[in-house]
Amino acid sequence: MAVTASDPATRERVLHEELARLHRELHPHATRTLRLRAEARLDRDLGLDSLARIELLARLEQRLGVALHEREGLAAMTPAELLQALARATPRAAAVELGTAAEIGAQPFEVPEDARTLNEVLAWHAARHPQRLHVHFEGGDADGTELTFGALHETALRLAAGLQALRLAPGEPVALMLPTHPDFLIAFCGALLAGAVPVPLYPPARPADLADYWRRQAGILRNCAARFLLADEALLAHRHLLRGLTGPIERVLAVKALGAGAAAAEPAHAGPDDLALLQYTSGSTADPKGVMVSHANILANLRVMGDVVDIGADDLFVSWLPLYHDMGLIGAWLGSLYFGTPLVLMPPQTFLLRPQRWLWAIHRYRATMSAAPNFALELCLHRVADEQLQGLDLQRLRLLFCGAEPVFAETLQRFAARFAAYGLHAEAPYPVYGLAENALALTFPPPGRAPRVLRVDRDRLLAEAVAVPAADPARAALDFVSCGLPLPGHEVRIVDEDDRELPDGRQGIVQFQGPSASRGYYRAEAATRGLLHGAWRDTGDLGFVHDGELYVTGRVKDVVIRAGRHLHPQAIEQRVGGLDGVRRGRVAVFGAQAPDTGTERLVVVAETRLQERAAREALHARIQAAVTEAAGEPADEIVLAAPGTVLKTSS
């Protein structure tokens, strides 16, 4: 129940209570009472990771009956800053979603079929319909801002002129450290028009932490050797923190200032095989791998995706996915740029803090397409209350792309079951498979079909690497979600460790080839040699083909081999993560060599907030049962860890 939050004393008391409660959950065995200081760091001093901080904000909003300003709330890193943010919060009643539908009118559908580069795509749309809406921004600092094709082209040309004045070399990387904002789109297009190659970096959540953030990005910046970094003005106010830390970066520039007053540039020549993007893969900050993605790669991918899902004049995409990730960058934005269909962009922080806003944006703008990783579906299932969904209508949503991480059958089924009451079609959830090394997408299911789930005999798969449908319900089985068929013009095959092709139903390494396939990694010859296998590229994933469709079973490097059986951490993590008492998405399963025998041990780390001994012992037993069910063998070690132990990458 919410309390009256108008006086500072109430806000301070509630903040201290919720911080203490969350700290007890995170550190159940702590012997000392938490002593709160106004300037204590939530992360360093109190041990709250990003998800725990979002949980804290949600609890404070619930207790105090307020709605925090998203950027200020998410940037607050001390109790003092949280109190300042709470003092400026609005009453929740003023921030209730109204649910009013506001359709963005459909336009005649025509696409630049002859365009060879993204530069030509933008110029084509700007010349034909400069006033047509391209992107509407929902939430964040740019809330309500709209960008037309003409405005994007014009401002990008001016920014390109500013970049050209810096004497860029053709094909020189330019780093972008920008949030979901018009400045990102302008900077990306401006870099291309100037003859540069954009390098998206995830932006720091808090400008004051720029120095720590910069050290984490050092590997990427050294690898791409970018001399120029485009950032937003809020970060530029803290540029003094970058002195001595910038590596190859010579200048940090604001998008608006760089393009201000400049005449439109003469676009640099770009060919289809020129690089349009360096996409650094998630988790690669220590040993960065920048995927080289050409204009031709991206356009080939967009065109076949559009053909398969039959994009048309009535389509509208709503996305909260980060623009530094290929699914948000290429799938949501560049797809909308190519097909000329409207896009509603929402900052990831808006979704993470209030996931119902994404659902209401789908409703309000009558979206036909959106996208979400598996964890986002779980967030909607667990963080959105029924009373926050009254009046929600998802009937127009025909495709909800599910990818960017493993997609679990149980999550899809629970999401479809709950949101069917709000008009979600059973055929809308659309599990797909792709990777940055193929621009974005590699396999799509046939549209208009509910997700296909295949139950396979567990023991045959783990012991023999054979995917046999489990006809006997009494036999142990594993569920895998179909990722569909290879996109037109692309091929997928399954091979063994010696690159020998395997027949359908045999598990092996997934390889691919096609017009979207990258030539390799930027300034990383050894990694490129590992990627290329003649005309084929290695995904690093394990999978099998059944009835022509791809089923991904895990990562090659993650497999635990025990007594000749190949155990899949992904399947175990799914089972354990679904148990009551375990934090969803916060399970890690891996192999560890036994020092005495040299054999591989199966280790499970599961986050929990349970503190009582009896409850933890019962959870330990349930986890062991779930591991045995998924793997056919018990775990050698189960660790019940405090929240924040299992780390997540930015994507």
Q: Is the dihedral of CA 410, 413, 416, 417 positive or negative?
A: negative
pLDDT, tens digit (0-9, with 9 covering 90-100), for 184-241: 999 999 999 999 999 999 888 766 667 777 777 888 988 999 999 999 887 777 766 6
**Residue type at 484 in one-letter notation:** G
Could you tell me which of 23, 48, 26 has the C-alpha nearest to residue 34? Answer: 23
Q: How far apart are CA 90 and CA 95, in angstroms?
A: 7
For residue 592, is it within any domain?
yes
Could you tell me which of 193, 167, 338 has the C-alpha nearest to residue 270? Answer: 193
Pairing of strands 600-607, 637-641: parallel
Average pLDDT score over residue span 46-70: 84
- For residues 169, 172, 175, 179, the Cα torsion angle rounded to the nearest 10 degrees is 90
Q: How far apart are CA 350 and CA 371, in angstroms?
A: 15
Could you tell me which of 440, 443, 512, 427 has the C-alpha nearest to residue 482? Answer: 443
Q: Which of 191-205, 213-227, 267-281, 424-438 has the weakest average pLDDT?
A: 213-227
3-class DSSP state for residue 641? strand
For the chain, give the percent of residues with pLDDT over 90.
59
For residue 100, is it within any domain?
no
Residue with tokens 């045995």: 628
The domain boundary, picked from 557, 592, 611, lies at 557
pLDDT at 243 over 70: no
Could you tell me which of 125, 121, 127 has the C-alpha nearest to residue 109? Answer: 125
Residue with tokens 């934005």: 333
Quick one: 345 and 217 in the same domain?
no
* Greater model confidence, 26 or 633: 633
**Residue type at 22 in one-letter notation:** L
Quick one: 465 and 547 in the same domain?
yes
Q: How far apart are CA 153 and CA 122, in angstroms?
A: 7
With contact defined as beta carbons under 8 Å apart, do 132 and 344 qualify?
no
pLDDT, tens digit (0-9, with 9 covering 90-100), for 105-116: 667 789 999 999
The domain boundary, picked from 293, 325, 351, lies at 293
Q: Residue 314 is encoded by which pair of tokens?
A: 């009535």
Quick one: 257 and 324 in the same domain?
no
Residue 99 has a pLDDT of 47
pLDDT at 462 over 50: yes
Quick one: 153 and 254 in the same domain?
yes
* Greater model confidence, 604 or 367: 367
Q: How far apart are CA 535 and CA 513, in angstroms?
A: 7
For residue 117, is it within any domain?
no
CATH number at residue 167: 3.40.50.980
Q: How far apart are CA 451 and CA 245, in angstroms?
A: 48
* Greater model confidence, 549 or 81: 549
Question: 163: Cβ–Cβ under 8 A, 6 or more apart, which residues?
Answer: 174, 190, 191, 194, 196, 228, 258, 265
3-class DSSP state for residue 151? helix
pLDDT, tens digit (0-9, with 9 covering 90-100), for 312-323: 999 999 999 999
Total domain count, the chain: 5
With contact defined as beta carbons under 8 Å apart, do 436 and 200 qualify?
no
Quick one: 509 and 523 in the same domain?
yes
Quick one: 575 and 549 in the same domain?
no
With contact defined as beta carbons under 8 Å apart, do 57 and 68 qualify?
yes
For residue 170, is it within any domain?
yes
* Greater model confidence, 42 or 239: 42
Quick one: 151 and 288 in the same domain?
yes
Report residue 42's pLDDT band, with 50, 70 and 90 as the boundaries. confident
For residue 299, is it within any domain?
no
For residue 596, is it within any domain?
yes
* Size of the chain in residues: 651
Domain enclosing residue 622, as ranges: 559-641
Element (H, E) at 573: helix 569-577
Report residue 648's pLDDT band, with 50, 70 and 90 as the boundaries. low
With contact defined as beta carbons under 8 Å apart, do 118 and 295 qualify?
yes
Could you tell me which of 550, 288, 259 has the C-alpha nearest to residue 403? Answer: 550
On average, the pLDDT of the chain sits at 88
Quick one: 519 and 583 in the same domain?
no
CATH number at residue 587: 3.30.300.30
For residue 138, is it within any domain?
no
Q: Which of 273-277, 394-398, 530-534, 565-569 has the weakest average pLDDT?
A: 565-569
The domain boundary, picked from 557, 575, 593, lies at 557
CATH number at residue 468: 2.30.38.10
**Residue type at 295 in one-letter notation:** H
CATH number at residue 86: 1.10.1200.10
* Greater model confidence, 27 or 288: 288
For residue 123, is it within any domain?
no
With contact defined as beta carbons under 8 Å apart, do 298 and 278 qualify?
no
pTM of the model: 0.87
CB-count exposure of residue 255 (10 Å: 0-12, 13-18, 19+): buried
Quick one: 548 and 576 in the same domain?
no
The phi, psi pair for 277, rounded to 5°, reads -170, 140
Residue with tokens 């940090």: 252
Residue 5 has a pLDDT of 57
Quick one: 508 and 590 in the same domain?
no
pLDDT at 401 over 70: yes
Quick one: 335 and 347 in the same domain?
yes
Q: How many helices (H) and strands (E) does the chain have?
A: 22, 30
3-class DSSP state for residue 531? helix
Could you tell me which of 136, 16, 176 has the C-alpha nearest to residue 82? Answer: 16
Quick one: 633 and 567 in the same domain?
yes
